[in-house]
Amino acid sequence: MKILITGGAGYLGSVMTPRFLSEGHQVTVLDNFMYNQAPLLDYCYNDNLKIIRGDTRDKNLLAKLMKDADAIFPLACLTGAPLCSKDPWAAQSVLLDAIKLILELRSKDQMIIFPTTNSGYGVGEKDKFCTEETPLRPISLYGRLKVDAENALLDGKNAITLRLATAFGVSPRMRLDLLVNDFTYRAVTDRFIILFEAHFKRNFIHVRDVAKAFSHSLNNFSKMKDQAYNVGLSDANLSKKELCDAIKKHVPEFHVMESAIGEDPDKRDYIVSNEKIEKTGYKPDVSLSDGIKELIKGYQIIKRNQFANI
């Protein structure tokens, strides 16, 4: 197929792009390279890859690139609550307005597969799994814009939305501000962490398994379309303390302290069921433990400098 990925050089896109190339697709990446990293250099030799430096909000450019696309993956995003709060106008224009522009420009036959977030569940009910039928109650601007974009896409039809768990793992466009990545980095470099509200839970998924979910959705589009799907590790609904315990198995010198004073600005607290997408035949490959081992090796190479969104 001919695939267009906006934000295709980001944390997720730089893993998805080579996967789709390996599957024989022609891939066009539209990205503004705002983090000054070079994640796709290893694939510039591939004749099936086209890279365009530009902005997903550029209507004329987007119309030109969408013209021949069979499938569109709108990944371009100001990802995360802190970054969206820092620049609300840019968040609105990239997360929502650009999605509406894609819907305006696309033909009825073009497939759209979109990464939303299970942070839309906000604060869940204790010991009750969030399913795709659970009311969405986002508690951040980032979550609200993602939910609005998901609603617009599903109303527009011929789309799939994937409510991603918190991603982790090494990517060519690395991020250290994701929870597993951050906590593992602290374990490797600082050997200690102080947790606020350590009981807060969320779900996790490896970045390569996110790419696998997008490929699975493309290959099963006709039976999955016009619906939302949670995507996460079903055995990784963990509190922050439980996550630290998992990391400590690999870094025994990691000291974890809990503080009764202070608040975590991220109030998300929920557990998630991934049964719906699993019933379509999707199964993740990378366990949390394997992802942590991968990160530990990666942190022998990189240090905290440009590898974050904010």
Residue-wise pLDDT for 177-194, tens only, equals 999 999 999 999 999 999
Among 56, 144, 109, 65, which residue's Cα sits nearest to residue 225?
109
**DSSP, res 249:** T
* Residue 123 reports pLDDT greater than 90: no
Query: pLDDT tens, 281-299?
Result: 999 999 999 999 999 999 9
Please tell me the class of the 2-168+204-231 domain: alpha beta
Average pLDDT over residues 204-208: 98
Is 179-202+235-298 CATH 1.10.4160.10? no
pTM value? 0.95
Strand partners, 53: 31
For all residues of the chain together, what is the average pLDDT?
94
Say whether pLDDT at 17 is over 70.
yes
**Taking the domains of the chain in order of start, what are their residue ranges?**
2-168+204-231, 179-202+235-298
The Cα-based distances of 191 to 27, 239, 255 in angstroms read 41, 19, 6
pLDDT of residue 308 exceeding 70, the answer is no
CA distance linking residue 201 with residue 60, whole number of Å: 43
Distances, alpha carbon 261 to alpha carbons 240, 264, 282, 287, in Å: 16, 10, 42, 33
State residue 90 phi and psi, 5-degree precision.
-65, -40
Packing angle, helices 13-22 and 207-219, rounded to 10: 50
Residue 264 has pLDDT above 80, yes or no: no
Alpha-carbon distance 212 to 284, whole Å?
8
pLDDT digits (tens, 9 = 90+) for 210-253: 999 999 999 999 999 999 999 999 999 999 999 999 999 999 99
